[in-house]
Homo-oligomer: A and B are copies of this chain.
Amino acid sequence: MSFNTFGHLFRFTTWGESHGPAIGAVVDGCPPGIALSEADVQPWLDQRRPGTSRFTTQRQEPDQVRILSGVFEGRTTGTPISLMIENVDQRSKDYSEVAKAYRPGHADYAYDAKYGFRDYRGGGRSSARETASRVAAGAVARLVIPEVSIIAWVEAIGGDAIDPANFDAAEIGRNPFFCPDPEAAARWEGLVDAARKAGSSLGAVVACAATGVPAGWGAPLYAKLDAELAAACMGINAVKGVEIGDGFAAARLRGEDNADAMRPGTDGPQFLANHAGGIAGGIATGQPITLRVAFKPTSSILTPVETIDRNGTATEIMTKGRHDPCVGIRGVPVVEAMVALVLADHKLMHRGQCG
């Protein structure tokens, strides 16, 4: 409902710029009595942390989170939880050129058009660094929905997709690509390395599944679970598309091929398919919620691109700095976090109206 706040009952507000002293999130509406310490948050931040392999940006950020409020004697008190992460490795010198000219594909020009000027250091507020705040907030959200299990992975890089037959969830944590298919992971190593060395970048598709969401969560008509997941994911840096269930493939199907038939089950209905991705009419059906998210290739590349400067004069720009050759990879923990945040919010909303 506002600019830098997300959620209805379980809400978080983020603040901070790429090269400011710190970034952070304030989580509001978290139920009381939940065990919470920095140790519950840090592992998720470590997943997103830059500099852990040669396939991500070489900026070195420990991303140590501090909880400044809302927890007493190890449990949430129901009051706002302030999470802060200090920025450590800000090399502002890298960005002198960016101050003058607009990087195509970045938010530079749009921010100037909106606000009249911008914090150009590392993209300022528009930097993907802000997503660390989301991951921290998402870690709190996970604790609110222990009945739900959320897992995301990279499904394709630069158009090279995994083989669904090879899907093995246990593989996801074993390679730097969050890839569930070991063969694809092997291929991607060469692919991403080549792009990195060429100063180029690659797009990616991230998939996510949330199991254990009870039938009934969600809220018609303008807080539909799928609409809020779409907003949550489309709002991640570099995302250009979101699909729920079969997504665009459903647009090619006939009605009889798209039906998720039901049979009597032991605990609720047994569904014979999940084309809908676990959501009907904006409300969870009890099936796994499945979605796919398209990440564009990182806009920061070493190829010079035509652009203009702040005075509107023609120039060229080549983004040196340190950047991810495939920003979709580090998007995996961010997608998971956003899904957790939406689901925690909808759990509370459902309980409020129908509990």
Contacts and interface: CB of A to CB of B under 8 A. Distances in A.
Contacts of A286: 113
A258 interface: yes
B115 A251 contact: no
Interface string A94-132: 000000001011111111011111110100111000100
A173 interface: no
B241 A248 contact: yes
A245 B308 CA distance: 22
Contacts of A263: 306, 308, 314
Contacts of A220: 3-4, 79, 107, 125-126
A263 B124 CA distance: 24
Contacts of A244: 234, 240-241
Given A109-B262, A257-B297, 14 more contacts: A2-B5, A2-B222, A3-B353, A9-B9, A20-B68, A20-B69, A29-B353, A77-B119, A156-B252, A226-B235, A240-B244, A240-B247, A255-B298, A264-B313
A295 interface: yes
B15 A80 contact: yes
Identify which of A2, A22, A228, A243 gathers the most chain B CB atoms within 10 Å of its CB.
Answer: A2
Interface residues of A, number: 153
Contacts of A337: none
Nearest to A311: B264
A261 B4 contact: no
Contacts of A351: 351-352, 355
Contacts of A201: 254-255
A75 B32 CA distance: 33
A202 B297 CA distance: 33
22 contacts: A3-B222, A22-B69, A31-B354, A32-B116, A110-B279, A110-B283, A113-B268, A114-B216, A158-B253, A203-B252, A227-B231, A227-B232, A229-B234, A230-B234, A240-B243, A240-B245, A243-B294, A253-B296, A256-B305, A262-B308, A264-B314, A348-B353
Interface stretch (A35-43, A53-61, A180-188, A269-277): A269-277
Given A28-B4, A216-B113, A248 B240 contact: yes
A64 to B, nearest CB: 14
Contacts of A130: 221
Contacts of A146: none
A284 interface: yes
B255 A200 contact: yes
A256 B303 contact: yes
Contacts of A32: 114-117, 353-354
Contact of A215 (B113, B117, B126, B299): B113
Contact of A111 (B117, B235, B269, B283): B283
